[in-house]
Amino acid sequence: MALKVVAAGIALYVLISGAFFLVMSQQPEAIAKTMMHVPWAAFRVFPLRRIWMKTRSGSIQPGQLALDFSLESPDHRSHFQLSSLRGQKPVVLVFGSYT
């Protein structure tokens, strides 16, 4: 009997962890709508940080070429294409807001 209770507990733990994985695989707005209802104790019981890091890690690997993109200058007079620098020198991309 005790073995069945332990097995049921483990199965429930895995099921809930899987549900968190599915939630965290969605868009940020959907994640926020669900996670705002999760009690703080769940953050101690379930591996939510590990799930978050796995679902949000992306698929680009070191050494893989970055996706090409084009940016318009702030004065709207010119464009910059990332691929124009390919093979010339290393490029560091920093995304953020300075406002």
pLDDT in tens, 3-40: 999 999 999 999 999 999 999 999 989 999 999 999 99
What pLDDT score was predicted for residue 93?
80
Question: In this structure, is residue 83 part of a structural domain?
Answer: no
With a pLDDT cut of 90, the percent of the chain lying above it is: 58
Question: In this structure, is residue 37 part of a structural domain?
Answer: yes
Question: In this structure, is residue 81 part of a structural domain?
Answer: no
What pLDDT score was predicted for residue 57?
82
Q: Find the DSSP H helices in 1-99.
A: 2-24, 28-35, 40-45, 48-55
**Which of residues 81 and 64 earns the better pLDDT score?**
81
Question: Can you give the residue range of the structural domain that contains 42?
Answer: 2-55
Question: In this structure, is residue 97 part of a structural domain?
Answer: no
Name the domain count of the chain. 1
Question: In this structure, is residue 86 part of a structural domain?
Answer: no
Residue 99 has pLDDT above 70, yes or no: no
